Amino acid sequence: MTKTAAVMMIDGFEESETMQITDLLRRAGIETYTYRFQDDEFVTGMQKIRVKSDRRFSEEVKNADVIIVPGGRTCAAEFIADEAFMETLKWFNENGKLIAGMCSGTTVLEAAGVLAGKRATGYTGYEEKLKSVSEFVHEVTVYDQNVVTSQGPATPYPFAFKIMEALGIDPSEIKARLLYAEAGGK
């Protein structure tokens, strides 16, 4: 059965994180869609790059096997302000579905209460922001229970690979095609 992923995009999202994650998950055969929160299908990223999204955020997102919250300096506040989105994150958590957040996306997961009692990582200095975690781990990616977290802008590849593993997909073939080990990836 094909796995599905919902990657969230809201004004201020980090373009390179979002697009790299989406690309890698699609290469792994995961049916991956980007979701926006406005009528305009083009979402403006942190670097002012406008990226076309696949779909508008709706209840449909709950059908995904994983919901992914990338980073972006200003987008965390936008996500947190969206009540329906925050309720969706809580629903994913209550139903034991996979949730993934990187960089400032981890602060969104914190605000939704999904990191409580779990091991997690985050961007440099976020140890103070992720107060509900059982342990803040200084690793590139962490997978605990139903949550995958990652540090920041330089980590989309290990983050996407950890999501694949959490979904039961072995990323080794993709890593080999990308010469990931030769480039120093772990």
Give pLDDT tens digits for 153-174: 889 999 999 999 999 999 999 9
Question: With bands split at pLDDT 50, 70 and 90, how would you rate the model's confidence at 183?
Answer: low
Contact 33, 5 (CB under 8 A): yes
Domain count for the chain, please give it: 1
Let me know if residue 183 belongs to a domain: no
Let me know if residue 157 belongs to a domain: yes
pLDDT exceeds cutoff 80 at 181: no
Output the pLDDT for position 82.
97
Output the pLDDT for position 1.
80
Q: What is the pLDDT of residues 46-72, one digit of tens each?
A: 999 999 999 999 999 999 999 999 999
Let me know if residue 182 belongs to a domain: no
Contact 186, 158 (CB under 8 A): yes
Average pLDDT over residues 83-87: 98
pTM, two decimal places? 0.95
pLDDT exceeds cutoff 80 at 41: yes
Output the pLDDT for position 180.
73
Nearest 5°: phi and psi at 148?
A: -110, 130
Contact 9, 105 (CB under 8 A): no
Contact 34, 70 (CB under 8 A): no
**How, if at all, do strands 4-8 and 98-102 pair?**
unpaired
124-130 contacts, C-beta under 8 A, 24 or more apart: 124/151, 124/152, 130/106
CA angle, corner 17, sides to 21 and 89, nearest 5?
75
Output the pLDDT for position 186.
67
Let me know if residue 184 belongs to a domain: no
Let me know if residue 186 belongs to a domain: no
CATH number at residue 125: 3.40.50.880
Parent domain of 144: 4-177
Contact 183, 158 (CB under 8 A): no
Provide CB contacts within 8 A for 64, sequence distance 6+: 4, 5, 6, 33, 97
What's 40's DSSP letter? S
Question: With bands split at pLDDT 50, 70 and 90, how would you rate the model's confidence at 85?
Answer: very high
pLDDT exceeds cutoff 70 at 138: yes
pLDDT exceeds cutoff 80 at 21: yes
Phi-psi domain of 61 (left: phi exceeds 0; alpha: psi -120 through 50; beta: other): alpha
